[in-house]
């Protein structure tokens, strides 16, 4: 008997989730899961209604029995199970004729190795059909025979503007930032030969880089990094 649980992260889901646990305790009373019969390509199939699965799944055995064509995925999908560290992969999907409570249309299922059930209908099915599920007493009522579009509020532009506003102080130009605070000098570098005279020559900026040098000089003078002196 399976009892579904789910644990979500703060920032959302990193993979498809198929969460289930099997209880083996003779003293524990557990309600029966919601299992219904639907028709796939005209054939009856046993289906688990699972509110903790983030996808709709089909067993490999059912796909082989119905001779369903496997469609390979361009990138395998990771399935995160309820137990930490337990993972699986989805490499194929299948398109079949789905019929249940007046709903009749072509539907895609992710093909994985399931136990006990032919299919699992997860949150995509529940959302698209506005399903009402009850455990006591058991019932499954479709609010819409035609699957609705899964679409939520679009907050991407709002989040983008918020991140740009928070990062604006870090992306300022050199001329728009103040001089960093002075730090105490608590070390010295002793000279090996104090009488040695080091040759030097005045620095000179190449003509090709002079416009950049003038721009940088004016920026540093304006921001206070440099000061004009008579020395």
Domain annotation for the chain: domains and CATH numbers: 35-142 (2.40.70.10)
| Per-residue model confidence as pLDDT tens digits over 102-141 | 999 999 999 988 888 999 999 999 999 999 999 888 899 9
SS3 77: strand
Q: Which residues of 104-138 are buried (b: 16+ CB within 10 A; e: fewer)?
A: eeebebbbbebeebbbbbbbbbbebbebeeeeeee
pTM of the model: 0.57
| Per-residue model confidence as pLDDT tens digits over 13-55 | 555 555 555 666 677 788 888 999 999 999 999 999 988 888 8
Could you list the beta-strand ranges (E) of 125-172.
132-135, 138-141
Does the CA dihedral 167-169-170-176 come out positive or negative?
positive
Cα separation, 103 vs 140, in Å, equals 13
Please count the helices (runs of H) and the strands (runs of E) in the chain. Answer: 4, 12
């Amino acid at each position: 008997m399976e009892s579904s649980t789910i644990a979500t992260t703060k920032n959302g889901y990193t993979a498809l989730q198929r969460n289930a646990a099997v209880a083996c305790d003779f003293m524990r009373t557990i309600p029966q899961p919601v299992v219904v019969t639907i028709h796939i390509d005209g054939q009856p199939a046993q289906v688990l209604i699972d509110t903790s699965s983030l996808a709709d799944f089909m067993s490999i055995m059912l796909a082989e029995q119905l001779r369903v064509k496997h469609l390979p995925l361009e990138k395998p999908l990771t399935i995160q199970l309820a137990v930490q560290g337990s993972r699986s992969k989805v490499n194929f999907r299948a398109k079949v004729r789905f019929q249940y409570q007046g709903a009749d249309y072509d539907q895609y299922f992710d093909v994985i190795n399931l136990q006990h059930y032919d299919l699992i209908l997860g949150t995509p099915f529940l959302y698209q059909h506005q399903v009402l599920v009850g455990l006591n007493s058991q019932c499954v009522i479709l609010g819409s025979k035609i699957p609705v579009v899964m679409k939520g509020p679009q907050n991407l532009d709002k989040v983008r503007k918020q991140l740009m506003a928070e990062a604006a102080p870090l992306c300022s130009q050199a001329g728009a930032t103040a001089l960093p605070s002075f730090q105490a000098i608590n070390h010295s570098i002793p000279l090996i030969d104090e009488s040695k005279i080091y040759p030097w020559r005045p620095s000179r900026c190449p003509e090709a880089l002079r416009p950049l040098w003038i721009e940088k000089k004016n920026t540093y003078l304006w921001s206070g990094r440099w000061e004009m002196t008579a020395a």
